[in-house]
């Protein structure tokens, strides 16, 4: 498990994130992340039978601002 010191709450310098890391970045529970994945709202990729990763580019797309900058 990651400590709050190791998570900067930004998406950078990594190709992909675990469900737990994604939850910490977004400030939600891992169950919320899983729900978004299974609804097709957040793209994720399975590696083998157990490992699921979210690409940084997909996470950045998911994190769109409520109000677009002008």
**Residue 40 structure tokens:** 């097709």
Q: Which pLDDT does position 65 carry in this prediction?
A: 80
Q: What is the pLDDT of residues 30-63, one digit of tens each?
A: 999 999 999 999 999 999 999 999 999 999 888 8
Give Cα 56 to chain centroid, integer Å. 7
CA 20/CA 37 separation, integer angstroms: 13
CA 49/CA 47 separation, integer angstroms: 6
Which residues, in sequence order, are CB contacts of 20 under 8 Å at separation 6+?
Answer: 1, 2, 30
**For residue 8, pLDDT beyond 50:** no
């Amino acid at each position: 498990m990651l400590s709050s010191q190791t998570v900067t709450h930004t998406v950078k310098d990594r190709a992909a994130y675990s469900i737990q890391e994604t939850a910490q970045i977004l400030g939600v529970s891992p169950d919320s992340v899983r729900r978004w994945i299974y609804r097709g709202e957040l793209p994720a990729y399975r590696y083998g039978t157990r490992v699921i990763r979210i690409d940084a580019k997909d996470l950045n797309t998911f994190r769109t601002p409520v109000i677009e900058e002008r």
